[in-house]
Amino acid sequence: AQKITQTQPGMFVQEKEAVTLDCTYDTSDQSYGLFWYKQPSSGEMIFLIYQGSYDEQNATEGRYSLNFQKARKSANLVISASQLGDSAMYFCAMRGLQKLVFGTGTRLLVSP
Amino acid sequence: DVKVTQSSRYLVKRTGEKVFLECVQDMDHENMFWYRQDPGLGLRLIYFSYDVKMKEKGDIPEGYSVSREKKERFSLILESASTNQTSMYLCASSFLYGQGDTEAFFGQGTRLTVV
């Protein structure tokens, strides 16, 4: 069975600061992928970043980086230099084979 | 641009009605997914499909069924709608994992209210 756990229902950060959103996962698959999505108040789901289980380097996409610790089964999202537009729900997700499962999400609020 | 289109943005149905939610994608994706999103519960997988006529149960399939007669279309069916199925429903599609871009693309969502 696959499971994603996001333990932070809400996070606050000041503009220009960095923030880490936590994600742990559980799977028996050897090959799997980890994803982060952003959902602003408009409701659309925006793909941010992907990490494959066999990737040796942590994924980065602009201000987003994924802190992948395989032994700990964690895949935390780091947003550097937060902006007001980063205020949104953030979902961690995992897929092994063909199933894609999501966590419960973290609501991030960026204050001026 | 990848497009995943859900047939309705808002839907109001009566208890006991049979409800069809339609999803169409234009990227020739093999995988298609249906989720429901509820506050505090995140996105929960209802059903997914990896090929025409193939379907797999997700984590909360009870009360739902699906149909995939064509590659581009994946329908979610509520056989007899109940008030506890009031929710936001999201459809997504992607290539098979390990083949090409792996992320899933989402539709705009259908907010279903059952009264």
Task: List the single residue in A with minimal CA-CA distance to B31.
Answer: A98
Q: Dump pLDDT digits (tens) for B16-69.
A: 999 999 999 999 999 999 999 999 999 999 999 999 999 999 999 999 999 999
Q: Dump pLDDT digits (tens) for A32-59.
A: 999 999 999 999 999 999 999 998 899 9
Instruction: With beta carbons under 8 A apart, name residues in chain A contacting B96.
Output: 98
pLDDT at res. B41: 96
Tell me how far CA of residue B43 lies from CA of A4, A15, A31, A103, B80, in angstroms. 11, 28, 22, 7, 22
> What sign results for the dihedral spanned by CA atoms B58, A34, A53, A23?
negative
Q: Half-sphere exposure (CA, 13 Å, Cβ side) for A95?
A: 24
Residues listed for chain A: 112
pLDDT at res. A62: 97
Burial of B81 (0-12, 13-18, 19+ CB in 10 A): buried
pLDDT band at A96 (very low <50, low <70, confident <90, very high): confident
Hey, what's the torsion of the CAs at B36, B37, B42, B43, to 10 degrees? 30
pLDDT band at B99 (very low <50, low <70, confident <90, very high): low
Average pLDDT value for residue range B77-93: 98
Q: Could you say which residues from 83 to 112 on chain A have a Cβ atom under 8 Å away from some Cβ of chain B?
A: 91, 93, 95-105
Question: Which of A1, A24, A31, A41 lies closest to A92, judged by CA?
Answer: A24
pLDDT at res. A97: 75
Whether the per-residue pLDDT at B100 is higher than 70: the answer is no
